[in-house]
Amino acid sequence: MKTQVTLGVIVGNRGFFPDHLCDSGRKAILSTLEKLGIKAVILPTTATKFGSVESMSDAQKCAELFKRNADKIDGILVTLPNFGDERGVANAIRWSGLRVPVLVHAFNDDPKRMTINDRRDSFCGKMSVCNNLRQYGIPFTLTRLHTDEPDSKTFIQDLQDFVVTCRVVRALKNLRVGAIGARPAAFNTVRYSEKLLEEAGISVETIDLYELFGWVNKLKDNDRRVQAKLKEIQDYAATRDVPAPALLKMAKFGVALADWMKSTNVNATAIQCWTAMEEFFGVVPCTVMSMMSNMGLSSACEVDVTGAVAMYAMAQASGKPSALVDWNNNYGTDPDKGVIFHCSNLPKDLFEAKPTMDYQAIIAGTVGQQNTYGTVVGRVKATSFTYLRISTDDRWGCIRAYVGEGEITKDPLQTFGGFGVVKIPNFQKLLRYICENGFEHHVAINPSCIAAGVAEALGKYIGWDVYLHE
């Protein structure tokens, strides 16, 4: 997972305001970015006065610099140590040709230093910059406070949220999702529109299970890659009670799937499970999916393609693996608690202990226990988390999402599969929203607090209809 973010930085300047503030302001901003591990592309101080942007010439120089570094820049930070020239800022962004998130920051004035030599007027200048960005049709993000110091806790949180936004936009740009197998007939809930996803820049690559099993059957038991994958599986989860033939099938499936993903440049997958995999191949794909998700190559079950998109977006945003779970049960009579569950293919980093491989208890009675080995079971560890659901709404021709944060608790629960107890503020309101708007029972979760940045990315910069549950 690529977590490094690079920002193009524009230091706004206006000639009849104290330009020495651009020198100190530039240094302060770059210091904060460095502390947070954020790389910067910024005009050198030899190119313009203090490396700031004011005139048309300055804007052209900045735009050219950004163009040369377009493949590196994930977002743009506009900072205003003084009033700033709104046309210079807007022109630099427009002429760069970049279509990335933009964060607008303005410095505080000091009431004790309001003379002509030190007065900033960034408070006012920020409004002018935002006015021009809106006129130019350039979407932008605002800080929590209208003006703020570069080293304040609030601005640091603004930057951290903005980094999440940049990562999500970057992750979904030209994303390719693999749909392996047909949607299970009983799961109308995971229907989706490939065309709406394609319009958003997300492509779906399909393959039939028959073709994939054909490649699996060509692999020999002693194939070097198969044996390497087998060891990887055995190291990943406790497999003591799993029959050796089942483990070998999983290894072959993992090799064949990895080959196909590489050849098609697929970053995430959604895989058919119920029940062809069990009846005609003899294992479930859960462990292989869990391993992929744990590496950031998010994998959703039941061919839930939009679920995989949500998983991948959050994994890339946080640098931590995502899981796909069901909003599955109430937890007693507490209206703000519930049970999340899957059979499961949850990534091992989400469990409180090393997971155990087992058989799929739900369908074992239908297809036979011996055909359902490969689930990864255990309890999800207590932590704060973000949840996200993305869905294509064919009736209205748009893509919709909801996102929010909650807590995975330590409340007692005895069950099977991968599970946990969650607490979400005003949970009943969220559940009503899910039902009234026809969202699926699946939801992606990630052990991080990134809801604000994700919502900003999906809503403002990608243009989807997003509900942020607060």
Query: For residue range 260-318, what is the model confidence (pLDDT) as tens digits?
Result: 999 999 999 999 988 889 999 999 999 999 999 999 999 999 999 999 999 999 999 99
Element counts in the chain: helices (H) and strands (E): 15, 18
Determine the Cα–Cα distance for residues 118 and 112; give it in Å rounded to an integer: 10
Residue type, 188: N
Is a pLDDT exceeding 80 seen at residue 417?
yes
Closest by CA to 124, choosing from 20, 14, 9, is: 14
Query: For residue range 197-243, what is the model confidence (pLDDT) as tens digits?
Result: 999 999 999 999 999 999 999 999 999 999 999 999 999 999 999 99
DSSP three-state, residue 76: strand
pLDDT of residue 401: 98
Bond from prior residue into 275 cis (ω within 30 degrees of 0): yes
- What sign has the CA pseudo-torsion 434, 437, 441, 444? negative
Closest by CA to 60, choosing from 97, 86, 85, 95, is: 95
Query: For residue range 343-370, what is the model confidence (pLDDT) as tens digits?
Result: 999 999 999 999 999 999 888 988 999 9
Lowest-pLDDT range, 73-87, 102-116, 239-253? 102-116
pLDDT of residue 188: 93
Q: How many CB atoms lie within 10 A of CB 21?
A: 23
Give Cα separations from 301 to 178, 202, 219, 373 (angstroms). 12, 19, 24, 16
pLDDT of residue 39: 98
Determine the Cα–Cα distance for residues 309 and 396; give it in Å rounded to an integer: 20
Is a pLDDT exceeding 80 seen at residue 66?
yes
Is a pLDDT exceeding 80 seen at residue 411?
yes
DSSP three-state, residue 103: strand
Closest by CA to 391, choosing from 430, 431, 438, is: 438
Cβ pair 77, 11 in contact under 8 A: no
Residue 49 DSSP class: G
Closest by CA to 444, choosing from 387, 406, 365, 375, is: 387
Determine the Cα–Cα distance for residues 157 and 73; give it in Å rounded to an integer: 20
Hunting for tokens 């190559």 — which residue is that? 297
**Which tokens belong to 321?**
């693996």
pLDDT of residue 56: 97
Determine the Cα–Cα distance for residues 421 and 425; give it in Å rounded to an integer: 14
Determine the Cα–Cα distance for residues 73 and 205; give it in Å rounded to an integer: 28
Q: How many CB atoms lie within 10 A of CB 345?
A: 27
Q: How far apart are the first and last CA of the chain?
A: 28
The pLDDT of 67-86, averaged and rounded, is 97
Domains annotated for the chain, with CATH where assigned, are 6-172 (3.40.50.1070), 176-469 (3.20.14)
Provide the CB-side half-sphere exposure for 255 (13 A, CA).
24
Cβ pair 441, 300 in contact under 8 A: no
Residue type, 212: L
How many angstroms from the chain centroid is the CA of residue 120? 37
Q: pLDDT category, 187, cuts 50, 70, 90?
A: confident
Give Cα separations from 412 to 339, 351, 422, 468 (angstroms). 11, 15, 11, 29
